[in-house]
Amino acid sequence: MTLKNFMAIGEAMIEMAVIGPDTYRRGFAGDTFNTLWYLAKVMPDNWKVSYFTGLGSDAASSEMRAFGEDANIDMTPAREVEGKTVGLYMIHLDDGERSFSYWRSDSAARQMAADPKALREAFAQADVLFFSGITFAVVLPEHRETFLAELAHARREGKTVVYDPNQRLRLWPSTADMIEANTRAAQVSDIVLPSFDEEHAYYGDETPEATIARYQAEGVKTVIVKNGAGAVLAQTVGEDAITVTPKIVTNVVDSTAAGDSFNAGFCAAFFNGKPLDEAIQAGAKLAGKVVQSHGALVEISE
Ligand code: AMP
């Protein structure tokens, strides 16, 4: 049986999370990688999930590759970039408040789009291509046009392109740069999964309806607006809008990866033929479990 291929494109990093005085626990995480990690658990057996990224040839990169493979993520599309290594971030805890420090500005993943031929060959293997605003910020500025052109090419070849804006101002020179990049990324995408707090903050959207209208004006077919504990609003061009209210989770302990796991639950259902409202419910159900535990990658039981 030929497996369908859900390919995420992005950067995973080493995560150093403080667990005691001068003691950190090493993990691996990153928005698109988190989505794949959950997808590998919830996608039906006729799919494989794979990761397109840049890795080095050192021990840390090998450990990341092995971590992905152990989680049933096909890491073979990952490009090996000579002389580079994976990015890293540290989570600090100060009176219960988390803050982050990053070492990623020269990571191997930044080179993931250096070779247009490699992009074309990798994307040709996929049925669905999933990326985020963080992915697009990580791709070096001089490679971004090629990167978008290859996604657009893949879309013309019949692949479905899914995009989560995940807008992080610290990764861009200015808000204007981030907004322009986000719009360009949306223009090559079929499905966009924004979070309303960002769309309100950076575009002044007063309602999720306004967010949907803005992305559909850029040619996006289906927009699903996540909104924390609030209702998810979604619409496919030519169809009625749908509202899905997530089940209230009273014991939210850590909202890390809420959006990433939502994307996984949604995509697993949607790409296996479930209607939009059921797929959103599946996304919200998975995210609702994830926010009840600490960390990005949470073991989930049915
Ligand atoms: P966000 O990216 O914060 O909008 O969250 C993504 C998704 O995670 C939401 O659409 C909800 O399905 C789920 N989620 C986030 N926060 C909560 C919460 N406090 N209670 C229940 N679900 C949540």
CATH of the domain at 132: 3.40.1190.20
Whether residue 209 is contained in a domain is answered as: yes
User: Considering 74, 164, 205, 260, which one is annotated as catalytic?
Assistant: 260
Asked about 58 being catalytic, the answer comes back as no
Please tell me the residue having the least CA distance from ligand 1 atom 16: 228
173 C-alpha vs ligand 1 centroid, how far in Å? 28
Q: Would you give the end-to-end CA distance of the chain in angstroms?
A: 27
Strand-strand pairing, 47-52 and 13-20: unpaired
- Token pair listed for 233: 């609003």
Looking at the domain assignment, is residue 218 inside a domain? yes
d(CA 112, CA 117): 12
Q: Residue 299: inside a domain, yes or no?
A: no
The parent domain of residue 149 ranges over 4-290
Query: What is the rounded CA–CA span in Å between residue 199 and residue 208?
Result: 8
H helices of the chain, in order, are 31-42, 59-70, 116-124, 133-138, 144-156, 175-187, 196-203, 208-217, 258-270, 276-290
Q: Is residue 302 part of a domain?
A: no
Q: Is any atom of ligand 1 closer than 6 Å to the C-beta of 284?
A: yes
Which stretches of the chain score pLDDT less than 50? none
From the list 43, 46, 36, the residue with the least C-alpha distance to 70 is 36
Specify the pairing of strand 97-103 against strand 128-132: unpaired
Hey, which of 262, 277, 286 would you mutate to test ligand 1's pocket, going by the most ligand atoms within 8 Å of its Cβ? 262
Identify whether 279 is part of a domain.
yes
Please give the distance, rounded to the nearest whole angstrom, from the Cα atom of residue 130 to the centre of ligand 1.
Answer: 20
Helices and strands (H, E) in the chain, number of each type: 10, 15
Does residue 258 line the site of ligand 1, with CB under 6 A?
Answer: yes
Distance in Å, CA 182 to ligand 1 centroid: 22
Residue 302 is predicted with a pLDDT of 62
Between β-strands 73-74 and 54-55, what pairing exists: parallel, antiparallel or unpaired?
Answer: unpaired
Nearest CA residue ID for atom 5, ligand 1: 228
Give per-residue pLDDT as tens, 62-107.
999 999 999 999 999 999 999 999 999 999 888 778 889 999 999 9
301 inside domain = no
Instruction: Please provide the DSSP assignment of 231-283 as one string.
Output: -EEEEETTS--EEEPPPP-S-----TTHHHHHHHHHHHHHTTT--HHHHHHHH
Domain count, the chain: 1
pTM, to two decimals: 0.97
From edge to edge, which strands make up the β-sheet containing 88-94? Answer: 23-29, 13-20, 88-94, 97-103
